[in-house]
Amino acid sequence: MKYAFVAVARPLRGEFTYAVPDELRDHLLPGQRIKVPFGRQTTLGFFLGPAPEPAPELAAKLKPIERILDAEPALPADVVELVRFAARHYRYPLGDALKAALPPGLTRADDAKDAKRDVTIYARAKPGVVLDVLARAPAQHAALSYILAVGGRAELTELAHAIPGAREHVRALVKRGLVVMEEEAIVRGVREGLAQNRPAALTPEQEVAVGTLITALEKQTFAPHLLHGVTGSGKTEVYLRVVERALELGRGALILVPEIALTPQLVGRFKSRFGPNVALIHSALKDSERLRHWQALRRGEVKLAVGVRSAIWAPVKDLGVVVVDEEHDPSFKQEEKLRYQARDLAVVRAQQSGALVVLGSATPSLETFENTRKGRYALVTMSKRVDDRPMPTLELVDLRTERPRTDENKGTEQPLLSPPLRAAIEETLAKQQQVILFLNRRGHSTYIVCEVCGQSLHCPDCDVCLTHHLSSRMLQCHYCGRRSPMPRACPECTGPLLELGIGTERVEAEVVEAFPQARVARLDRDAASSAETLTEMLAAFARRELDILVGTQMVAKGHDFPGVTLVCVLLADSALSLPDFRASERTFHLLTQVAGRAGRGKDPGRVLVQSYNPEAAPIARMLANDFQKFSEDELRRRKLLHWPPDSRMVSVRIEGENADAVIRVSKQLASVAVKAMPPASHGVRLLGPAPAPITRIKGKTRWQLVLKGPSHAALTRPVDAIEKAMEEVPRSVRVLLDVDPAAML
């Protein structure tokens, strides 16, 4: 092999041809990371395979590969094949896509190194040491005194916090022979309250589900299944049994969960069952931990991976089963750079590996549901909860008839806690049971307006209102993150400011005021800013150390809290008015999921849904517990309007600081697309150009085009033409392609 195809880790399409030096010819393997010259610099590249011999005049200009960075391919063949598909389908440079599939520590043009062990370092005093020998070294004397005072062995990090410069002093003590250093591997256990034991027996529906899925697994052929189980039906136990069988067969397993917020409890279940043989893949881990888990999978030391959407690239050997838990969740869609949908790639990866893929949900996405209706996926249904526990009762609180209360100091306000809800909370607390209050808005007040001039406080860089966070007395934009102090008066006319709109922080304050005896916590991105805080809060709630949990959608993500008997959705219609064709579907999913947190223990559950618009289809169908009818009606509506899953879509977003340039480029790209459109009979439609629903974010004007067609193939010509025209777009304007977009905002 004299020449090689190489993908360079740069934002450039296509593969490049390099010359192969004689000394490397017998050592190159597809998927290996290599170092190659590119322009005036060197960069990370990936060897893809041998290239044919080019014409002599071109061969003389080819640059040679500098060196190989891995003894074995960093990416196994099946992951390379999956990345190739993703780069082609989502129209992203292959080299950058391959780089995105790697863990931290392997994304630069450096030689591969083994991840450092995750250890705690201790300083231990040798037996019989005395402090007298350090009379003339007071700093070392202090360090040794501390070690002896805590029992002769101290964690080095703790010691460094207590005594400035302690690390240097300990090194001196080691040289004197008074202290030795010890390392202890950190074994991250499962927090008490999150682990669950193996049930003695499965329910009849679980038995059928496990039997069906294991039969499909043992055939070792591609088998997509939708596991449609109501909340509390025991889907996780089904996953565990299927994974057990896959491991018994010597095959690997990959479990995808929507968010890190959901990971602690589900990982707890898997670690309780499989011990240390679980690799974790998510961004809350330290870089060294992610690399260590990734390398354990790559070597085949561990064959089970659990993680968020990026775990789709995990190098699981001999993949036998892929599980996508809560497959409907929008967080499986990557919204920047390589804009992939991990659920869809899970199906592709299973197909490429001849594996079983299980898509689990109580509220399947319409795309998945439609695939079962058309026979592309097999359907496994679990309609009853474990131990025949009843589904929670669903009750409507019509806020149109719950008149706003008047407070002499605060004026007229919207009712956050309606009289029926207050009564239900009192009753639940009296029984020493737990409550979840759900509102999908952070902060205290989501809308600040001047009482005199009527001006609202907007982010100067985004077309959105600023949210007031009472705990910090700051205004914050939830799009660009801009923060500023809450003014005492209107910046325009010095008039008094009214705080309108409802956020979780305000709900928490009212709950604390109304129920001072209750232990209340808030679960949102502000309160749980780290994985450790989040895990501890969830564990504390599971241990019943909290009575009421107020939260955003984070409380709806598959958690299992047996003590929760009351759930309230404070404002069910808050997302219905969003300019997105999926608004109804997402509202139905979210309401059903949060309602499913109630009554998962021995006591029956109750759900109160507060709404100003109870006749809206997603709210009415959710209250009737009728997923089937909601889905059929919504699919019919989508078909009439040619929205997915009836069609395939590509959105083209154009953004930049110069509004005129953005508008001009938008019209040019639309013109290019129109000229490349196939005949009308092919059913391809172009929407736009038009301003994006949120026209400015981070100081940039945003416009968009949307292409819809019956298949991705039908959209190929206009999208190809747009991609070619993007090469002529000025640098001040950015054009982003999003294949199969999840949201229109």
- Unique residue bearing structure tokens 């008015």: 577
Residues 213 and 167 in one domain: no
Please give the average per-residue pLDDT across 499-523, as a whole number.
89
- Residue 446 in any domain: the answer is no
- Torsion sign, CA atoms 339, 343, 346, 351: negative
> What radius of gyration, in Å, describes the C-alpha atoms of the chain?
29
Residues 275 and 420 in one domain: no
Helix (H) or strand (E) holding 179: strand 179-185
The string of pLDDT tens digits covering residues 271-304 is 778 877 888 888 777 788 889 889 999 999 999 9
- Mean pLDDT of the chain, nearest integer: 89
- Name the band, by pLDDT with cuts 50, 70 and 90, for residue 664: very high
For the entire predicted model, the pTM comes to 0.86
Residues 48 and 175 in one domain: no
The string of pLDDT tens digits covering residues 226-237 is 999 999 899 999
DSSP string, 628-689: HHHHHHHHHHHHHHT-TTSSEEEEEEEEES-HHHHHHHHHHHHHHHHHHPPPGGG--EEEEE
- The secondary structure of residue 496, as a DSSP letter, is P
Lowest mean pLDDT among 238-247, 452-461, 714-723: 452-461
Please give the average per-residue pLDDT across 639-644, as a whole number.
93
Tell me the H-state helices in 4-118. Answer: 56-59, 77-89, 94-100
Token pair in block for residue 276:
């240390």
| Segment of 2-6, 483-487, 677-681 carrying the highest mean pLDDT | 2-6
Cβ atoms of 611 and 704 closer than 8 Å: no
Residue-level pLDDT at 547: 96
- Residue 455 in any domain: the answer is no
Q: Which of 527, 580, 592 is nearest to 261 (CA)?
A: 527
Please give the Cα distance from 253 to 707 (Å, whole number). 37
Task: Give the number of domains in the chain.
Answer: 5
The one-letter amino acid code at 260 reads I
Q: Is the pLDDT of residue 681 over 80?
A: no
Q: Which residue has the higher pLDDT, 406 or 499?
A: 499
- Name the band, by pLDDT with cuts 50, 70 and 90, for residue 186: low
Q: Is the pLDDT of residue 190 over 60?
A: no
Please give the average per-residue pLDDT across 136-144, as a whole number.
88
- Name the band, by pLDDT with cuts 50, 70 and 90, for residue 117: low
Q: Is the pLDDT of residue 500 over 80?
A: no
- Unique residue bearing structure tokens 């902060």: 443
Q: Which residues contact 416 (CB under 8 A, 6 or more apart)?
A: 502, 506, 507, 510, 570
- Name the band, by pLDDT with cuts 50, 70 and 90, for residue 189: very low
Q: Supply the range of the domain harboring residue 94.
A: 3-100
Tell me the H-state helices in 116-199. Answer: 138-149, 156-162, 166-175
Listed residues 100, 128, 150: the one ending a domain: 100
Cβ atoms of 324 and 332 closer than 8 Å: yes
DSSP string, 406-449: EETTTEE---SS-HHHHHHHHHHHHTT-EEEEE-S--SSBSEEE
Please give the average per-residue pLDDT across 712-730, as a whole number.
95
The string of pLDDT tens digits covering residues 300-314 is 999 999 999 999 999
Residues 428 and 571 in one domain: yes
- Unique residue bearing structure tokens 């974010």: 697
Residues 253 and 319 in one domain: yes
Q: Hey, is 369 helix, strand or coil?
A: helix
Q: Is the pLDDT of residue 333 over 80?
A: yes
- Residue 197 in any domain: the answer is no
Please give the Cα distance from 585 to 570 (Å, whole number). 19
Cβ atoms of 713 and 699 closer than 8 Å: no
Please give the Cα distance from 49 to 4 (Å, whole number). 6
Burial 461-476 (b: 16+ CB within 10 A, else e): bbbbbbbbbbeeeebb
Residues 407 and 383 in one domain: no
Q: Is the pLDDT of residue 203 over 90?
A: yes
The string of pLDDT tens digits covering residues 2-13 is 999 999 999 988
Residues 400 and 535 in one domain: yes
Tell me the CATH number at 152.
Answer: 1.10.10
DSSP string, 243-260: HHHHHHTT-EEEEE-S-T
- Residue 465 in any domain: the answer is no
Tell me the CATH number at 17.
Answer: 3.40.1440.60
| Segment of 23-27, 39-43, 650-654 carrying the highest mean pLDDT | 650-654
Residues 140 and 258 in one domain: no
- Residue 113 in any domain: the answer is no
Q: Which residues contact 181 (CB under 8 A, 6 or more apart)?
A: 121, 122, 123, 124, 156, 170, 174
Lowest mean pLDDT among 535-544, 610-619, 673-682, 714-723: 535-544
Residue-level pLDDT at 701: 95
Q: Is the pLDDT of residue 712 over 60?
A: yes
Q: Is the pLDDT of residue 265 over 70?
A: no
Tell me the CATH number at 513.
Answer: 3.40.50.300
Please give the Cα distance from 298 to 314 (Å, whole number). 8
Residues 570 and 692 in one domain: no
Lowest mean pLDDT among 396-405, 437-446, 614-623: 396-405
Please give the average per-residue pLDDT across 536-550, as a whole number.
89
**In the chain, what is the straight-line distance between the N-terminal and C-terminal CA atoms, in Å?**
50
Residues 178 and 93 in one domain: no
Please give the average per-residue pLDDT across 482-494, as a whole number.
89
- Residue 468 in any domain: the answer is no
- Residue 362 in any domain: the answer is yes
- Torsion sign, CA atoms 237, 239, 245, 248: negative
- The secondary structure of residue 554, as a DSSP letter, is G
Residues 253 and 323 in one domain: yes
Q: Is the pLDDT of residue 173 over 60?
A: yes
Q: Which residue has the higher pLDDT, 121 or 431?
A: 431
From residue 706, give the alpha-carbon distance in Å to each of 20, 581, 670, 729.
Answer: 44, 13, 10, 18
- Residue 110 in any domain: the answer is no
Residues 352 and 213 in one domain: yes
CA dihedral 91, 93, 96, 97 (to 10 degrees): 40
